[in-house]
Each structure stands twice: as C-alpha cells, then as structure tokens.
Structure 1
C-alpha cells in the first residue's frame, strides 16, 4: 500500500490529531508549526511540522521537515 493511501486510512479511522483536534478528512491541510499526533499499531508519534519540500523526496529528506517531539529516532 502506498504511503498516501496508508495516511488517508489513518486519518479516516480517526487515528490522527492536528493540534489536539481529531481529524477525519484526509485532504485537511497542515501548516508549519502544526503538531500531529498519530496513533500507530506500536505506539503514538508526536511530530511538529517545521518545513515543506518543493518536491517529493525520499525518507531521509522527509526527516528534515518535522521535529519528533518525543525525542525518539526519526
């Protein structure tokens, strides 16, 4: 399954919060400074959006676009 599809399913299932508010619309935009709380099978990730990329990149490039607020590995 592609990443975008997986992300949309998480949002639709109510597993994503933006700034503490549950989000159920996959097309909802995020902005720099937003904090995303994502409930996954093996735990919860809390990420702060710190930048956007002009083009889609690999996972290593994506890690530069957010801050892990739990201090864990990216």
Structure 2
C-alpha cells in the first residue's frame, strides 16, 4: 500500500491498515527512524487510574466512604 505526502507533510494511513491495527481518531503513534526506514508504533492508551481502582481500604471502624468523609470533614 502506498500513501503520498501532502504539501503540509501529512500522510493518510490506508483504511485497511487502520482497521487491522485498531487505529482511530486520537490514537497516538510513536515514529522512529531505523536504518533509513520510518517505524510507526501504536501506543496503547492506559488509564492511569485503572491500576489503583479497587485497591483503596477504609480505616478500621468505617463501613462506607460517606461515613469516613463525614468524619474527616468534621
């Protein structure tokens, strides 16, 4: 597959490639030059909160978040 560079230096990734790799608007692609070739790597979005979701623990004596917040907020 081929794509032509526009006057603004932009290229269009062919639809078949976008579909195969799951590239949608907003997808980040990291470009590098290796041995005279352009290598584009799709960067997977990672939710920075996801790894911590569900890991929090309430201090002893509290059964829910609302009671804890009411206590600490006075």
**Fold match by TM threshold 0.5:** no
- Bigger-Rg structure (1/2): 2
Q: Which protein has the bigger strand share?
A: 1
The higher-RCO structure (CA 8 Å, 6+ apart) is 1
